[in-house]
Structure 1
Amino acid sequence: MSAVPIVFAVDDSYRVPLLVALESLCVSQPAGARGLTVVVLHEGLDERTRADIAAVAADHDLDLVLRRAELPDLPYNTAFGGARANYLRLAIPAAVAAADRAVYLDADIVVRGDLRPLLDADLRGLPFGAVQDTVNPTLADGRALPGWQELGLDGDRAYFNSGVMVFDLAECRRDGLFERAFRAVAEHPRHLRLWDQDALNLAARDRWHRLPRRFNTIPLSALRRTPWIRLPPERLPTDAALAAEEADAVVMHYVSPSKPWRGLLPAGPAADTYSLHLHAVTRRVAGTTRKGT
């Protein structure tokens, strides 16, 4: 296993986006998949999902491990389109126990650039690094952690998006981050509208390193044309600023229900980028299926 495993967490419903994420990861790195280790956490995957993941990994000579994760028996809030799989990243410390550091990536991403600066990011003694959420930048300015006032939190507290995270696992264990996150799941399920992301934000106590936005960029130029993102005009950058930010993205994160693999993301550069990798994966998996018949 490489020094910094890259961890995904999925169920079968995220088979296609995971394949796209893996494809984009392998083709975007300067040395391809050489030296990368990917760990996919799950609670059980069907044969088709396993076969397709193995096909993409084999074609790129990617060191990939499918690892069954165990979640404690807790009342996992999955309202608003969530799933138990959202909480699997909370099992990272046990799943990669031999690693000192890990990078977590959501499956609904495309990697567009060199991840080495992310893998090697200086966390300045903090348990993890993440990017401040674009849509919910603070508790008072968004829909995250509903009822945060009842929890005694400050509305000005910065809120991070958990789709891309770099963990110092030794510091996380000393800090008790994941234990507090599981307590949040157990004790405050009604406050976890954004599932594990809310649990982690509550558990973090604002002790996290702010990463540059290029490591977790949302395609806001497209999403603002959907019913899911409704930001006031003063929060919307200019078209030129959005284009520059999205062109600089190392990781493009396709948040909201407007998922590109379902054809729901409005047309534009972000949708085109996703389609490129989706078509490559479709051809790759189709070719493997033909060989096996």
Structure 2
Amino acid sequence: MTAQETITLVVVCNNHFAVLLAALLKSLDVTHKSAETITLYIVDDGLSATNRAKLTRCIDSPQISLVWIKMQDAIPRNMVIPMDNSSFPISAYIRLFAPYFVDSKVKKIIYLDADMILLEDISVLWNVDLQGHVLAAAVDRTEKVSNPWGGIKNYKELGLNPEAKYFNSGLLVIDMPLWREMNLTNKVLACINNNKAYAGFPDQYGLNVVLAEQWLELDPLWNCVPMSTVEKPFLIHFIGRKPIFKMYEHNPAYKDLFFHYLNQTEWRGYRPRLESSRMLRKAYNLLNKKATSFLRFIRVRD
């Protein structure tokens, strides 16, 4: 690696999660100490002009540049988002399309969920050798595909090894040319479409089925969840209830770290919201996904 290499990151965000992304951006800004420049693609899922401007101002480092992409422009015209039954937003599928909207000259990207903060320089992750794998990820807290409350519920019907490890799709290191060569986006979408009854975590389900035992395992410190008690994580992934809600009930030290970064942004002094806003958002996601998928289906047919 040379000092001139550029690290390419991808994240997607809406107004609901803008406050979460602010903490992630500031943590990236503070923890990146090595010489590489960073290009961060932010897929804009309806962000207000105010939130977009505030997010831009989270970055002080001249080494980090932002590239904004409208969500509708990030989804290839010939690809239809599955009408799964989960309450995850349409934007959850964006990680599958990144190899098609990021500059084609880029060979590798890191995808990050917006509900994360970095406590280690992203260059450490960037320099992980993929060893010929198309994807690197950290093991999910469900650990293996046969986990009864997570995992892949129809792993037997799919012929998967019950002991195969199951990864979390919130952080992905992707070999872009190999991903396109393997036609992974279409394979994962087809898998979700064919197994909707089992795809509770749709993109994660599809990726784990299609890439079962074919991915590189990262150090678990790159995916410490709020239920964890690890003292020095590389990255905290706020799955479940986020620290922006009053009902957050997990590791208080992790919540403190989140607000440490958030309070260095224009969201300083933010007060956690009631749980009702979270439930309303889930209902909206479900309805919006079905409507959008139907309209895209009509668009493709035309």
Tell me the TM-score range normalised by the shorter chain.
Answer: 0.7 to 0.9
Corresponding residue to 2:25 among 19, 22, 26: 22
Letter in 2 for 1:275: F
Q: CA offsets per residue over residues 163-198 of structure 1, 9 Å max, x none?
A: 111111122222332221121233222221112111
Letter in 2 for 1:260: P
1:265-280 correspondence runs (5 A):
265-266=248-249, 268-280=252-264
Matched residues in 2 for 1:115 and 1:205: separation?
Answer: 26
Do structure 1's residue 197 and structure 2's residue 204 form an aligned pair? yes
Do structure 1's residue 95 and structure 2's residue 94 form an aligned pair? no
Matched residues in 1 for 2:268 and 2:226: separation?
Answer: 26
Question: 2:184 matched to which residue of 1?
Answer: 177
Task: Decide whether the 8 Å contact of 2:146 with 2:152 is kept in 1.
Answer: no
The CA RMSD measured in Å over matched residues stands at: 2.3
TM-superposed CA distance for 1:263, in Å, is: 3.2
- 1:190–1:283 distance in 2 versus 1, CA, 3 Å: closer
Question: 1:111 matched to which residue of 2?
Answer: 118
Question: 2:158 matched to which residue of 1?
Answer: 151
- 1:285–1:23 distance in 2 versus 1, CA, 3 Å: farther
Do structure 1's residue 70 and structure 2's residue 75 form an aligned pair? yes
Q: CA offsets per residue over residues 231-271 of structure 1, 9 Å max, x none?
A: xxxxxxxxxxx3xxx22211111111x21012332362111
Task: Decide whether the 8 Å contact of 2:192 with 2:205 is kept in 1.
Answer: no
Query: TM-score, normalized by length of structure 2?
Result: 0.78
Question: 1:231 matched to which residue of 2?
Answer: none
* Structure 2: runs of 5 or more not aligned: 271-302
TM-superposed CA distance for 1:36, in Å, is: 1.3
Corresponding residue to 1:250 among 194, 210, 234: 234
Q: Secondary structure at the match of 2:169?
A: strand
Corresponding residue to 2:11 among 8, 11, 20: 8
Letter in 2 for 1:70: I
TM-superposed CA distance for 1:82, in Å, is: 0.9
- 1:25–1:76 distance in 2 versus 1, CA, 3 Å: farther
- 1:284–1:269 distance in 2 versus 1, CA, 3 Å: closer
Matched residues in 2 for 1:76 and 1:117: separation?
Answer: 37
Q: Which has the higher helix share?
A: 1
- Work out the percentage of aligned pairs sharing the same amino acid: 24
Q: CA offsets per residue over residues 104-141 of structure 1, 9 Å max, x none?
A: 1111101011121210110110101111112x111112
Q: How many residues matched?
A: 258
Q: CA offsets per residue over residues 67-101 of structure 1, 9 Å max, x none?
A: 1211532323252x311011111111011122100
- 1:117–1:31 distance in 2 versus 1, CA, 3 Å: closer
Corresponding residue to 1:47 among 46, 49, 53: 49
Do structure 1's residue 262 and structure 2's residue 245 form an aligned pair? yes
